[in-house]
Structure formats: C-alpha cells, structure tokens
Amino acid sequence: MAAGSPDRLAPIRQGWARLFPPRPATGAVVMRHVPGWRVIAGKELTDHVTSVRFLVLLVILALAAAVPLYFASGQIRTAAQQVSGGQAIFLALFSLGSDQFSFLRADRFIALLAPLLGIAFGFDAINVERTDGTLPRLISQPIHRDDVINGKFIAGLGVIALTLAAMITLVTGFGMLRLGIVPDISEIVRLVLWLALTVLYVGLWLAFAMLLSVILRRAASAALIGFGTWLAIVIFGSLVITLAANLIAPQPASINTLADQQQDLSARQTQQLITRLSPATLYVEATSALLMPVDPVTAQGGAANYNARSIDELIQAADTRRIPSLLSIDQSLLLIWPHVVVLVAMTVALFAAAYVAFMRQEIRA
C-alpha cells in the first residue's frame, strides 16, 4: 500500500477487534470492576456464617423445629394406615403438632422464632461500624455510599435464606428417613414457595432492625427496641389487635334480623382487615394456604371458612372415606398473593426509610 493512501480495511479491523478483543498475555493481571455492594455483601456474609451468633441461632431454630417434628411424626405414623394414598401427607410434617398444644407445630414455631434471625443480623449492621470507628474508613473506599447499606441488607438476606433452607432440608430428610414418605413434585414446590415466603417475612424484620441500627447510635438500644417490638407484635400483637378490632367494630349481641346479619358481617370484615395489619397474621394465613391447601368446597360439611381447614381434618376424614381435595398450586398462589404484596410493601417501606436515613446522616472521621 502506497504511503499516505487511506486504509480501507481499518473499519473492518476495528469492528473485528470490538467483537473479539485480544486475550491478555500469560501472567498479565486483568482488572475487573466489581460492584461495591457485592464486595460488602461477600465480606458480611462470610462474617455472619463464621460467627458464634449464626451457630447459636441455628441451634435454637433446630431445637425449636425438633419438638413439633417429634409430635407430627408420631401422629403420621399412628394414622399411616388411614391416610395411605391421601394427598399432601408429607406437608403434615410442617403443619401437624401436639394434640394437647396446638401451637407445637413447625410452621407456628418458625412464625414465632424466625424474626429473631432478622433482628439478630440487622440490629448492629450500621451502628457497630460507627462505634468501632470503621464507618468513615469504609465510606472513604472507592465505592458508593449506598453500597454499604445495600450490601449489608443483601448479606443478611443471604444468611437468613441459608439458615432456613438448611432447617427445612433437615426436616425433610428426617421425615423421609423416619416415615418412609417421599414428597412429590407439588409438595416440593410448595415447600420452596414457603421458604421464599419465610425469607420475605424475616426480611421484613431485617429491614426493621437495620432501620433501628441506622437511627440509633448504640447497638444495645437497637437490640432492646427490636426484641421488644418482636415480643409485642408476634406474641401479644394478635391479642391487642383483636381487642382493638372488637372496640372499633363490635358485633351485635344477637342476630335476629337482616340488619343484624349485615352488621355482623360488616363487623367481621372490619375485624379481619384490622388483624391483617400484623405481619405475623399475614404470614400465618399465607403459610396455611401453602401447607394446608384443603379446598373448602369439597371439605367436610362444605364449610366456607378456608383457614379453619387443616391436614388434621384430612386424617379424621379418612375413616369416613371423605378425604377432601386439595387446592392446586396456582389457586394457593391466588389466595396468598395479597398477603405477599403487603409483606413486600412493608419490607420496601422499612428498608427505604433506613436507606434515606443513612444517606442523609453526616459521617465524620
């Protein structure tokens, strides 16, 4: 090619180089940009998994699940002949409990104790960095400021999902070994959906604990308020909300006329709406729809109250050959969809409050 003449193949070579960039030489170091929140999340996840706190909480949840699992497996073994061939028998491991104590069930124990995971991994997420003096140095790194709180929240969700998945896997393995019952595909899908629902429920408490960690300077104060709120909502919240609902929408003393029936129906709807302000109530109702999916139309007596139907009635109905049919997975999802939307909205609102508060805080060295 003559000197000074235009290179007509240059655009082709440039395009080829963009599509297939040359490989670096052997031994060369390639610098890749890693998002800041991934770095924070990886470090926090490693610290959580290797901490004593993680082991203690894992043991507590395992012991809490072992007690109802013992009663549930005993009932299933006793009624094995009656319910042979029944539907969703494996799910009874998570929804059955003691005859004397109805709260001794795996799903109820998880609803009661699982929020401890969110509070334990979130109450000191930010304020401990501020107390130790490491927060200014962390912010001075070449990462965005919001990567700190985003990475810590994602790491908390990761360790929560890991803990709950390990516990459900242990319960499933125990049921297969002790009872000889193998779950089918639909039951496995329901357990996976229940795991996702539980992670969302605990994530709400994680977002609440991180909000306390941001607005409170001391970790002890955040822990005290977090665990106190857990006691108030999960243990005493249903009683308080029920009393408030009865005061706001009292039911008529007697139902004799059509007006009394309409007033009673309106009062029940108002009370149900008020009780569903509690995240624990939303989680329990959604869990019932996933783990005890009995169709109210074909259940005994044709009762219309879905939440009153459980796998216990399936066992009782086996003697009379009237085993109720189960709702399909898509029907169960339609039932719990409003609950999931409300839980997601609560979680987003709490995390958004923590995010805004952290971004507006002044951090000094």
pLDDT per position as a tens digit, 105-150: 777 778 888 888 899 998 988 888 888 888 888 877 778 888 889 9
The pLDDT value given to residue 296: 45
- Say how far apart CA 354 and CA 70 lie, in whole Å: 41
Span of 71-85, 100-114, 267-281 with lowest mean pLDDT = 71-85
Asked if 332 and 190 touch (Cβ cutoff 8 Å), the reply is yes
For residue 300, the model assigns a pLDDT of 42
Q: How far apart are the first and last CA of the chain?
A: 63
pLDDT at residue 345 is higher than 90: yes
Identify the top-confidence range among 41-55, 318-332, 348-362. Answer: 348-362
Tell me phi and psi for residue 87, to 5 degrees.
-100, 145
Q: Give me the pLDDT at residue 211, please.
A: 94
Averaged confidence pLDDT in the chain: 75
Structure-block tokens of residue 284: 């329990």
User: Which pLDDT does position 323 carry in this prediction?
Assistant: 40
Q: Which residue has the higher pLDDT, 355 or 24?
A: 355
pLDDT per position as a tens digit, 284-335: 888 888 887 665 444 444 333 333 333 344 334 434 333 445 678 888 888 8
How many Å apart are CA 184 and CA 90, to the nearest integer? 9
Q: Which residues of 240-269 are buried (b: 16+ CB within 10 A; e: fewer)?
A: ebeeebeeebebeeeeeeeeeeebeeebee
pLDDT at 352: 95
Q: Do residues 342 and 282 lie in contact, with contact meaning Cβ atoms separated by under 8 Å? A: yes
Q: Write 53-57 long-range contacts (CB < 8 A, 24+).
A: 53/120, 53/121, 54/159, 54/163, 57/116, 57/117, 57/120, 57/163
